Structure 1
Amino acid sequence: MSKPPTPRKRKRRSPTLGPEKTAQLYAALAEDRPAPRTELEYSNPYTLVVAVALSAQATDVGVNKATKTLFEIADTPEKMLALGEEGVADHIKTIGLWRNKAKNVIALSQMIVDEFGGEVPQTRDELTRLPGVGRKTANVVLNEAFGHETIAVDTHIFRVSNRTGLAPGKTPDEVEDQLERVTPPEFKKGAHHWLILHGRYTCMARKPKCWDCSIRDICKFKDKTPDPARKTSSLGPKGPSA
């Protein structure tokens, strides 16, 4: 019998910008937002963990509305446990998957108290042990609360990294690996926020604002959107003249 063909190894997609343009890209984003930070509202590492865990499949705006009153009465794991699962649920019913998230908030709070003395752990391995906390959530907390040079790849960062050619990849893990390798040291601390905010407000999924993009000339995205104002102006109010 003939041997089955050996499966071909998939080639890892390589960054296409190169070191010089990569540095230029980050420099432009840094000029746009000199002091980037998360848009989730929190008061300490614990409330940040809860907020990020709640943000899965939800908007930051929606999470902030739900946690405003929640964090006023429960800003420590001990206070959250005293509130109880039903009490947490009452505050977050406007967020998707709120039942399961309420369970996770209580469970992670219990673990923080029982195993970490009431303090949020500061390593990725320990953070990802908390119920409802995955690698992305852990990276956000490490970066925002503790100043680690981590990059959490969400849908915005995944899109920007692939569109621009900065760090192409087929999965979030591939993109994270690429970003870790190509991001210059001086930009690693802010890279997560620069990329996510650029994807949220400029390089949007359906209609990116390419005409108003500070990295337009660096970006490898072929189907750049034209300036709608210029198009309207060229046609006039009633369209082209006869």
Structure 2
Amino acid sequence: MTPDQVVDLFSRLAADDPAPETELQSVNTYTLLVAVVLSAQATDAGVNKATRDLFADVRTPAQMVALGEDGLKRHIRTIGLFNTKAKNVIALSQALIDEHGGEVPADRDALERLPGVGRKTANVVMNVAFGAETFAVDTHIFRVCNRTGLAPGKTPAKVEAGLEAVVPGPFRLHAHHWLILHGRYVCKARRPDCWRCSIADLCRFEPKTPAPALKTA
């Protein structure tokens, strides 16, 4: 895409949703971190359902450690990979207590050193909690960037680097949320809704998906 096309793309997404937000529910920065860790290979809706009762009582690393791994599993057993995730959440909670005074660090490298926290998770927390201009490349962003030609790449790291290079200043804070939501609700994996896509004419994906045929009586 040309620089003008990139500006046009984000201008349209911004017009559709001026203030996009994460769909993961949390009550503070710590619970946001936990929710993002739990969301790997799971839907936001599924995580929200599992954490609704959890976050009513557990809002700090100390409370999570006190709950324990088995107690956490009882809350999140409906989420994929819950055994591994429970182990990581307890371990990262202890690490926050031991190394950061129980606070979530506003530093991507420090976040990535926590158990179960990869670059995507760290980028989400940095963006949502601390207002950093980061690009958390999940499956939705990866798909949208490759289909449209915005920032094509064979790996999430390549796509992230591409976004870093092409997204202009006014759009950097919200860019990853616009792309995630677009991929989740319009540029779907199996059958994108090209017929109702606001950026279809800028997108190199072919063939475009036509509107569903109207049913006749």
With the shorter chain as reference, the TM-score category is over 0.9
Corresponding residue number in structure 2 for 1:232: 214
1:67 aligns with 2:51: yes
Task: Give distance in 2, aligned partners of 1:158 and 1:210.
Answer: 17
Aligned counterparts of 2:63 and 2:112: Cα–Cα separation in 1: 22
Between the aligned partners of 1:165 and 1:103, the Cα distance in structure 2 is 39
Larger Rg: 1
Q: TM-score, normalised by structure 1?
A: 0.88
1:102 is the counterpart of 2:86: yes
Give distance in 2, aligned partners of 1:26 and 1:133: 29
2:183 pairs with 1:205: no
* Length, aligned pairs only: 217
Taking the aligned partners of 1:168 and 1:102, their CA distance within structure 2 comes to 34
Sequence identity (%): 65
| Displacement after TM superposition at 1:223 (Å) | 1.3
The two structures, once aligned, show a CA RMSD in angstroms of 0.9
Residue 42 of structure 2 is aligned with which of 58, 81, 99? 58
- CA distance in structure 2 between the aligned counterparts of 1:129 and 1:167, rounded to whole angstroms: 27
Residue 59 of structure 1 aligns with an amino acid whose one-letter code is: T
- In the other structure, the counterpart of 1:6 is none
Counterpart position of 1:13: none
For residues 133-166 of structure 1, give each alpha carbon's deviation from its aligned partner in whole angstroms, at most 9, with x where no partner exists.
0000000000000000000000000000010010
| 1:106-185 pair list within 5 angstroms | 106-185=90-169
Q: Partners in 2 of 1:183 and 1:135 — Cα distance?
A: 19
User: Per-residue CA shift, 1:175-231, capped at 9, x if unaligned?
Assistant: 000000000011000001000000000000111111111101111112110011xx3
SS of 2:202's partner is coil
The one-character-per-residue Cα deviations of 1:114-149 (angstroms, maximum 9, x if unpaired) are 100011011111000110000000000000000000
Structure 1 regions of 5+ residues with no counterpart?
1-16
Tell me the SS of whatever aligns to 1:189.
Answer: coil
Residue equivalent to 2:26 = 42
Partner of 1:7: none
**2-structure distance, mates of 1:137, 1:232:** 42
User: C-alpha distance in 1, partners of 2:22/2:68?
Assistant: 27
> 1:29 aligned to 2:13?
yes
Q: For residues 215 and 125 of structure 1, what CA distance do their matches in structure 2 show?
A: 34
Q: What is the distance in 2 between the residues matched to 1:183 and 1:31?
A: 16
The aligned counterpart of 2:76 is 92
Structure 1, 132-141 or 210-219: larger mean CA deviation:
210-219
Aligned equivalents of 1:125, 1:206: Cα separation in 2: 35
Q: CA deviation at 1:232?
A: 3.2
The alignment's TM-score, normalised by the length of structure 2, stands at: 0.98
Q: d(CA) in 2 for partners of 1:70 and 1:78?
A: 14
